[in-house]
Structure 1
Amino acid sequence: MRGQGRAVVAMTRIRIRVLGPVQLEVDGAEVRLTPLTTRLLVRLVAAEGEAVPVRTLRRDVWGMADEPRHLAQRGRNEVQKRVLELRRALDPRQDGTAARVLRTEQQVTVAGPETAYRLVPGPGEVDSEEFTAVVGAALLAPPATAAHRLGEALAMVRGRPLAEVHGEEFAAAYIRRLAALQDSARRELVSARTRLGRPDLALPVAESIARDHPDDREAARTLDALRAELRARHGDELLRHAVPLPGRRVDVVLLRGDLFEQQDANLVVGFTDTFDTATDQDVVISRGSVQGQLVDHLFAGQRRLLDEKLQAGLRGVPALGTESVRDKPRGRRVRYPVGTTVAVPVDGRRVFATAYSRLGNDLVARSRHEDLRTSLESLWAAVAVHGQFRPLALPLIGAGLARVTELDRGQLAALIVDSFIAACRRDPALTPELRIVIRAEDLAGTDLGPVEKRFQQAGPGEGET
């Protein structure tokens, strides 16, 4: 029929991998070769496009040097047999790929014409050649481009190049070149990532260089400098992990310090269900508690300002009830549900006041594991709406006077992290960073092992780099 074109038949796709154990892939599937045929393929790759005579192949692949004349024909037949096997593997559809990639030539020698074989792969068909091209371009590129391309190139390396023939003379120069190029790529990647302000990403590469070159003083100095920079950068950081989420970066940080020093972050302050703020004589609220410090640090000691903002935020929240003056003579008497969270605006950021405990009529605050979990879920929801995608800093809620007695400090931190990870999976725009701030005097009594264990169990996320 007119107007109907011929169907286009896709050519066979070949990938020869020698940056590690040798692999041949045809149309995306690995093809298994016999050991001798694998050695033949490696020998032809190591020739780097040069034709290799049959006698050389017999010497290097079969280990048969100076064969007697009466056995020469048998040797040629053995080479032809392996070449035929390789061609069949390269060209299962018989579309001419084998003839293009593996050519037969005749060389003129003093003993007469001799058959030789030349491997002529196309662009991207041998990983070592692609590796060489990518690294060569990356070494001349600006830092961001270099870091990206070098990372891609080094990801091609699966082990020692041409591992099957390591130590053999015919492959020595090829292996040395690839090893030197890999070393240059790693060193430049360390430099690029350092210039980009990512010593954390440069460190594992620098460690691999120092491990492979234990006598290299420059590599050792670079490694020491990176570790020192990271120690200085971390400062009071105790732990930092990326939340295992696909496609985005969210960090959880545990640090030693003062909650109110986190001036670039929104803050979380735990309250009781009555949202009391009075610190007079430490009767209702302790002046040394986070609630008590909130008035002094962010409201210049003016409790009335905080009360007004809390009451404004609570206007739309149904109260659970109101205590009588006789039952509760001191403090506020209106009770709100545990989990109630008020976003209090302060100087362009937010203080999230969240009720995680109940203040008894005896003025003792009490909280349980379930109360804290409920409070955290409400907190994350409020942060998603009012947090303006700022970092979020909170103390170790549940470890103060309203202590959750079922959990120790490490378990409380792990509960907060678990709840936060679950919330991040529900809402991608929660916060770029959660900081759990632990006071220096409380650190000795806080086991961070449960938090580390959570991240080990979760594994790295797609968003982690």
Structure 2
Amino acid sequence: MKVLGPVRLEVDGAPVRLTPLTARLLVRLVVAGGEAVPVRQLRRDVWGLADEPRQLDQRNRNEVQKRVLELRRALAPGQDGVGTSVLRTEQQVTVQGPQTAYRLVLRPEELDSARFTAIVSDALLAPPATAAHRLAEALSMVRGRPLAEVNGEGFAMPFIRRLTSLQDSARRELVRVQMDLGHPERALPVAELLVHEHPDDTEAARVLDTLRAELRARHGDELLRHPVPLAGQRAEVVLVRGDLFDQADCNLVIGFSDTFDTETSEDLVISRESVQSQLVDRLFAGRRRLLDDKLRAGLRKTKAVGTESVRAKPLGRRVRYPMGTTVVVPVDGRRVFATAYSHLGNDLVARSSDSDLRLSLENLWASVAVHGMFKPVAVPLIGSGLARVTDLDRGQLVALIVDSFIDACRRHPALTPELRLVVRPQELAQTDLTPVEQRFQDLVPGPRATDWR
């Protein structure tokens, strides 16, 4: 039987429908807590009838017996309903003479409030990890306000107050132990519910403010985090505000042109402000030739698609490689994935397109799956710089990279534990992240918040 919310009677796992008066009789017997309830008390509480002289109340007693019989048949379907061990008939001796009384006898596992009470009582004495598990288990049983059908009735109020008080204690303790375990994100929805139900509780409001502040501090420059919504995948997509080269725990992705130019002198071939130039300065201490040597070594097995003449392209490299070519460059125990996503014209203007970027990303993920050592991968907003993909804005570029990554996760289950998209602070105001959030909402339909009612 379930009373942690609207009353529900189930027999052998199947719901049993009761008439309103019979359901009310069942509730009255439940709140008695296993004690026998005299017929006169039942008439007052269930039917709202005042006591009458004994010779005049036979009809009322017959009504009680009729409902008791209906309840017995519901509790023991297929039997005659007489002498059931669940709903017992007793005789009590009173100053007015013997009086019939009824006692409901349920095992603890047959009543959800009894199971709830036992689990919470154990959890309140348990260490934090065990307590968190048990309290969450108990609170998952709650479907609403206990005994909602008789809320406000005098006979039910002590029972309801006891359960709601225990429910509040369970929620407060769950918030506390989740904070002790370092999981404020799990404590937050429970704390929010407590404040919603107790708007005047200053301590609950203080705890909620503390949780929110802790989560804000924890996120720091993190702007977005979602798990990849694929069965068997444990990868996450994270978007942070910051500097690509500060992501010291990650492999890095650097976009190049199809000639893999690195020359930055006089800003004629590659801009000194470009990511490629920063790569030379930040990871190779300005030793451009060292990076060039590593790129050439990585390109040896890749067939060129053409070579420009000195006359056609007097500056920069002249050998062109297929769009999407990815070179793996080892640096200090991690990898830099240099991927060609743009075409550097002989006029030294880099141009790219939606299709070029998609092809580059597809080849990039295949290379990461083989050479990435299952490290996080940090990716800048490829296509937003000098070799701009003009038909997509920054938000759409983020969405394209995320879509490509999720598709690659289907093909490469052990791709990387984290795709970290890094947006420079000065680019953030022009980057609408709504398309990315919409992607994840579309991929994961339905509510995502846990209901701790």
TM-score bracket, normalised by the shorter chain, equals over 0.9
Post-superposition Cα deviations, 1:34-55, rounded to whole Å, max 9, x if no partner, equal: 2112212222221122122222
Q: Determine which of 313, 320, 331 is the counterpart of 1:346.
A: 331
Alignment CA distance shift 1:33-1:334 (3 Å): farther
2: CA distance between counterparts of 1:349 and 1:71?
93
Deviation (angstroms), 1:303: 1.6
Q: Name 1:6's counterpart in structure 2.
A: none
Matched residue type, 1:335: R
Alignment pair present for 1:133 and 2:140:
no
Check the 8 A contact 1:101/1:120 in 2, yes or no: yes
Structure 2 matches for 1:29-178, cutoff 5 A?
29-94=14-79, 99-178=84-163
Q: Determine which of 265, 268, 278 is the counterpart of 2:263.
A: 278
Post-superposition Cα deviations, 1:412-459, rounded to whole Å, max 9, x if no partner, equal: 112222222333344433222222111111111111222222222233
Alignment pair present for 1:200 and 2:185:
yes
1: CA distance between counterparts of 2:82 and 2:374?
55
Check the 8 A contact 2:69/2:81 in 1, yes or no: no
Matched residue type, 1:331: G
2: CA distance between counterparts of 1:159 and 1:98?
34
Alignment CA distance shift 1:455-1:55 (3 Å): same
Out of 365-374 and 337-346, give the one that drifted further. 337-346
SS at match of 2:281: helix
Alignment CA distance shift 1:55-1:439 (3 Å): same
Alignment pair present for 1:402 and 2:387:
yes
SS at match of 2:340: strand
2: CA distance between counterparts of 1:132 and 1:185?
10
Check the 8 A contact 2:257/2:343 in 1, yes or no: yes
Q: Give the CA RMSD over aligned residues.
A: 2.4
Deviation (angstroms), 1:22: 1.3
2: CA distance between counterparts of 1:329 and 1:464?
60
Check the 8 A contact 1:247/1:462 in 2, yes or no: no
Matched residue type, 1:57: L
Q: Which runs of 5+ in 1 are unaligned?
A: 1-15
User: What is the aligned residue count?
Assistant: 450
SS at match of 1:17: coil
Alignment pair present for 1:259 and 2:244:
yes
Q: Name 2:396's counterpart in structure 1.
A: 411
1: CA distance between counterparts of 2:101 and 2:407?
64
Out of 243-252 and 148-157, give the one that drifted further. 243-252
Out of 315-324 and 39-48, give the one that drifted further. 315-324
2: CA distance between counterparts of 1:200 and 1:95?
54
Alignment CA distance shift 1:174-1:464 (3 Å): closer
Q: Which runs of 5+ in 2 are unaligned?
A: none
Alignment pair present for 1:329 and 2:314:
yes
Alignment pair present for 1:187 and 2:172:
yes
Deviation (angstroms), 1:93: 4.6
2: CA distance between counterparts of 1:461 and 1:281?
55
2: CA distance between counterparts of 1:95 and 1:434?
66
Structure 2 matches for 1:227-306, cutoff 5 A?
227-246=212-231, 249-306=234-291
Deviation (angstroms), 1:137: 1.2
**TM-score, normalised relative to structure 2:** 0.92
Matched residue type, 1:79: V
1: CA distance between counterparts of 2:335 and 2:57?
87
Post-superposition Cα deviations, 1:200-235, rounded to whole Å, max 9, x if no partner, equal: 111111111122222222112111111111111111
Post-superposition Cα deviations, 1:243-264, rounded to whole Å, max 9, x if no partner, equal: 3344664332222111111111
Matched residue type, 1:328: K
Alignment CA distance shift 1:169-1:402 (3 Å): same
Alignment CA distance shift 1:327-1:21 (3 Å): same
Deviation (angstroms), 1:275: 1.8
Deviation (angstroms), 1:98: 8.8
Check the 8 A contact 2:73/2:81 in 1, yes or no: no
Structure 2 matches for 1:372-411, cutoff 5 A?
372-411=357-396
Alignment pair present for 1:361 and 2:349:
no
**Identity, % of aligned pairs?**
75
Deviation (angstroms), 1:172: 0.8
Q: Determine which of 430, 444, 451 is the counterpart of 1:459.
A: 444
Check the 8 A contact 1:90/1:98 in 2, yes or no: no
Q: Determine which of 414, 424, 434 is the counterpart of 1:439.
A: 424
Deviation (angstroms), 1:181: 0.9
1: CA distance between counterparts of 2:81 and 2:326?
71
Check the 8 A contact 2:257/2:350 in 1, yes or no: yes
Matched residue type, 1:207: E
2: CA distance between counterparts of 1:230 and 1:322?
54
